[in-house]
Amino acid sequence: MKKEFDFFDRPKNQLILFLSFIGLLILLLGLDFFVDKHPYFGWDGIPVFYAFYGFVGCVLLVVIAKNMRPFIKREEDYYDDK
Amino acid sequence: MMISSVFPPALLFIAGAFLIPFLKVRAVKSAYMIALPIAAFAVLMSIPEGTYGMMRFLDHELFMRFDRLSMVFGYIFVIITMIGMIYALHVKDDSQHVAAFIYAGSALGVVFSGDFFSLFFFWELLTLSALYIIWSGGSKDSHGAGFRYLLVHLFGGLCLLSGIILRLFQTGSIEFGYVGLDLGLSSWLILIGFAINAAVPPLHAWLTDAYPEASVTGAVFLSAFTTKTAVYVLARGFPGAEVLVVLGAIMTVFPIFFAVLENDLRRVLSYSLINQVGFMVVGIGIGTSLALNGTTAHAFAHILYKALLFMSVGAVLFRLGTAKATELGGLYKTMPLTLIFCVIGAASISAFPLFSGFIAKSLITSAVAYEGLILVWLALLFASAGVFHHAGIKVPYFTFFAHDSGKRPKEAPLNMLIAMGIASFLCIFIGVFPSVLYNILPYPVSYVPYTADHVVSQLLLLCFAAVAFGTLMRIGYYPPEKRAVNLDTDWLYRRGGPAVVVYFGRPVARFTAWLGGTFVHALPRALIQFGKNPTVYLKIAMDTILLPIRTPDARPDAKKELAAAKENCPAYVLKPWSIGSAMAFATLFLGIYMLVYFIRSMGG
């Protein structure tokens, strides 16, 4: 039998991917201090503004969504005819 | 304007569709289904810009308009029809292909309508063919969702029709061009009619209700046409309508919260569809040439990557019969090509540099920033990070990675892979060579998407959104996928509808039944009986009233006496009229009426 394709399940590959992602982050953060900026409003040209906004935005997104669950989550057959 | 011999592209699809059932050889049928969009593309290429009259209807000229705005939509509609048809080649049920072609043809019809009458005709045809596609999902859920879809869209259609008629009275013209909001009610009715098809909240829930219930192949078509024809008509009719900036910004933000919680991945994609259309609606609301270019470019790019995402999740649904995150995971092992296509779609929708979303969405966000709308700009930026979060990461991650579901489906069928391959190619091609798309936009483009700070900023935004996702997953805060229904505004009619029936409809029905029983039956009968035999009737009435207050031992006798009196009273048993005598009366009155009318007209 052919061996199963399991590239992403091997810890070694996962580590390589993780480290290259961290490397990319560091590279991008470094570049952010050097590129020639054309900010729209001024304050959006501050280094790491986009990184900060992306991170905080997504954390808030999940926090808010998670706290919406008690209000909007119902059983899967909620709308079925009783 | 002159009548000329331009062949309506819509007709090519709508009439061409009906040949499909007669093609019995499979290869011929497949070739025909692919050739038809190619032919339509050739027809579009050959039509010079301008307006072309078609026919006269109720003293009004119906005509088609081919200009730079309508042509972009025409091209992408034809392209996606071909991709969708390749994706659907394996489907044996011809009626689905016919419906899909009529649906695509209606969209072309709307886009090239120069007047409101033809627009309305194709608008309704669009709704009906979409309904058929939703029902082709075949489940009980798709049946119900289809009916709800129909009700919402019929409401929208009626708003549009009322608006068109009012406008006709106000302006005397049925030309469909810039509408604006200056004419009051008529403009607003048209706007509401358009906005419902664009899934503008709070009238958006039909989309997330119905699209995930359509067939695997049907959802691909649905994701492309209804909302984007609406974007086109809004861009044509209401550029610069400020209300659309606000509504569009809301559209970009609110669906991502639902998308984070939703378990059905096709529903996640439906929420992100609303989010993406929100960007386009914002662009329309701003109405500058940069913004309208952005809206058009984004519609073009969006149709490709959204269809691509629906196709990749559809392939999984086709193989496994489910698209629920709770039941998927680890599929990369056996569906690696589908994974690659899915990731290309995800990268495009998330606007990664070198993918189509980046060069299209940037136009809109820049247009917003140039207008100085800080809050809207921040909302769009948040929505950009959010869409990457759910459509870019969540969909591929929960399908192909996450916990291994143990399922080992086969790779998607060849026709699906080819369709996804073409869409993927186009997503990357447009991303790498934006000028190809920029050159066909309605206004000249001087925008440069690939500047160093723009690329770095976008990558930072997206990568740190990914960091947030990873961190929250790692510490276990991320809300686990759960099989559930999440309430949205469709709750109002899905729960409100039955409530109206129970708390309002039924009491009213009982009341009218009582009114009818009393005034149409009981009261006339009593009067007739009274008139025929007043003394006996009064005695019977008296006895009936007195019966309850007689002494218990006298009651049985009184009852018998009353029954006997009723029996003997000849007027009490009332025969209903026979149909014959009723007809005779009706004829008699008609005769009298005609006689009176005749005499009067003689005298006059």
| Residue range B354-374, pLDDT digits in tens | 999 899 999 999 899 888 888
Evaluate if residue A82 carries a pLDDT over 70. Answer: no
pLDDT at B2: 47
Distance in angstroms between the alpha carbons of the first and the last residue of chain A? 50
Q: Which position has the higher pLDDT, B573 or B136?
A: B136
Cβ–Cβ gap B484/A75 under 8 Å? yes
B353: left (phi over 0), alpha (psi -120 to 50) or beta: beta
- C-alpha–C-alpha distance, residues B250 and A54, integer Å: 19
For the residues B294-319, what does the mean pLDDT come to? 93
3-state helix, strand, coil in chain A (%, to 5): 65, 0, 35
pLDDT at B476: 83
Average model confidence (pLDDT) across chain A: 82
Average model confidence (pLDDT) across chain B: 87
Evaluate if residue A61 carries a pLDDT over 60. Answer: yes
Distance of CA B142 to the CA centre of its chain: 14
Evaluate if residue B416 carries a pLDDT over 80. Answer: yes
Evaluate if residue B63 carries a pLDDT over 90. Answer: no
Half-sphere exposure of B98 (CA within 13 A, CB side): 13
B-chain CB neighbours of A10 within 8 Å are none
pLDDT at B5: 67
For the residues B196-222, what does the mean pLDDT come to? 90
Pairing type for strands B60-66 and B485-486 reads unpaired
Cβ–Cβ gap B468/A58 under 8 Å? yes
For the residues B161-183, what does the mean pLDDT come to? 88
Q: Which position has the higher pLDDT, B488 or B233?
A: B233
Interface test with A, best of B147, B275, B375, B461 (most A CBs within 10 A): B461
- C-alpha–C-alpha distance, residues B200 and B192, integer Å: 9
Cβ–Cβ gap B467/A55 under 8 Å? yes
B-chain CB neighbours of A68 within 8 Å are 257, 261
For the residues B267-287, what does the mean pLDDT come to? 93
Distance of CA B89 to the CA centre of its chain: 25
For the residues B549-563, what does the mean pLDDT come to? 81
pLDDT at B549: 78
B-chain CB neighbours of A79 within 8 Å are 144, 485, 494-495
pLDDT at A40: 82
Cβ–Cβ gap B453/A38 under 8 Å? yes
Q: Say which amino acid occupies B156.
A: G
- C-alpha–C-alpha distance, residues B19 and B458, integer Å: 48
pLDDT at A11: 83
Q: Min CA distance, A19 vs chain B (Å)?
A: 13
Task: Indicate the DSSP class of residue B61.
Answer: E
Confidence of residue B4 (pLDDT cuts 50, 70, 90): low
Helix (H, G, I), strand (E, B) or coil at B67: coil
B-chain CB neighbours of A48 within 8 Å are 460
Q: Min CA distance, B53 vs chain A (Å)?
A: 46
For the residues B162-181, what does the mean pLDDT come to? 88
Cβ–Cβ gap A57/B385 under 8 Å? yes
- C-alpha–C-alpha distance, residues B49 and B593, integer Å: 61
Q: Min CA distance, B457 vs chain A (Å)?
A: 6
pLDDT at B1: 45
Evaluate if residue B386 carries a pLDDT over 60. Answer: yes
Residue in chain B nearest A60 by alpha carbon: B468
For the residues B222-233, what does the mean pLDDT come to? 93
- Angle between helix B9-17 and helix B26-46 axes, rounded to 10 deg: 170
Q: Min CA distance, B559 vs chain A (Å)?
A: 46
| Angle A13-A17-A21 from CA coordinates, rounded to 5° | 170
The label of the residue with tokens 């900060």 reads A52
| Residue range B98-125, pLDDT digits in tens | 999 999 999 999 999 988 988 999 999 9
Q: Is residue B305 a contact partner of residue B349, using CB atoms and an 8 Å limit?
A: yes
pLDDT at B576: 63
B175 phi and psi angles, rounded to 5 deg: -65, 135
Cβ–Cβ gap B381/A57 under 8 Å? yes
Cβ–Cβ gap B465/A6 under 8 Å? no
pLDDT at B280: 94
- C-alpha–C-alpha distance, residues B451 and B433, integer Å: 14
A-chain CB neighbours of B486 within 8 Å are 72-74
Evaluate if residue B571 carries a pLDDT over 80. Answer: no
Task: Indicate the DSSP class of residue B115.
Answer: B
